[in-house]
Amino acid sequence: MKCPYCQTRDSRVIDSRELSGGDSIRRRRECANCGRRFTTYERVETAGLVVVKKDGRRQEFDPGKLRQKLRVALTKRPVGEREIDALLQRVEAALLAMGTPEVPSSAIGEAVLRELQELDQVAYIRFASVYRQFGDLDDLRREVEGLADGRPEGAIGSSGASGRL
């Protein structure tokens, strides 16, 4: 690892710690030349996921875009950044577990809804109202009733369930 101060390639690791439940490692290093310390992070680079949109377009999976949508759904809710990070990691792991390089956008939306159903039911309804394109108050009512009854998500009528994300 090259020292950010003197550009020497010789450094030694003086401390390592797991982060994000073992998904990444933080390493403190000391330069053999100048003696200054610096931090590096190491994580597994996964093969890029391609999202197949409803209209057939394909684009690289962007966790940042999903984070932004989650923040909107979680506005003024008692959910911190750590919980959002963990949710994103679980969703991405579920997508990777599918074992295909391309995933439909509907799979992402459904994975997010499953996670939000457990994390925050108000955020679940907010996200579902956009994702499933509720057409009227009856669609919203059916979704809330399904959530209250413990029925699986997607319990609304045929006017919803579009899969847009």
Any idea where the domains of the chain sit in the sequence? 11-43, 50-149
pTM above the 0.95 mark? no
Closest CA relative to residue 127, chosen from 50, 65, 71, 56:
71
Q: With contact defined as beta carbons under 8 Å apart, do 38 and 31 qualify?
A: yes
Residue 53: pLDDT band with limits 50, 70, 90: very high
Average pLDDT estimate for 52-77 = 91
Q: What percent of the chain is predicted at pLDDT more than 70?
A: 88
* pLDDT at site 150: 73
Average pLDDT estimate for 29-57 = 89
* pLDDT at site 9: 93
* pLDDT at site 3: 94
Q: With contact defined as beta carbons under 8 Å apart, do 71 and 121 qualify?
A: no
Closest CA relative to residue 51, chosen from 108, 98, 111:
108
Average pLDDT estimate for 17-44 = 89
* pLDDT at site 152: 53
pLDDT of residue 46 exceeding 70: no
* pLDDT at site 156: 43
In sign, the C-alpha dihedral spanning 74, 75, 79, 81 is positive
pLDDT of residue 39 exceeding 90: yes
* pLDDT at site 15: 95
* pLDDT at site 131: 85
Closest CA relative to residue 157, chosen from 144, 165, 143, 145:
143
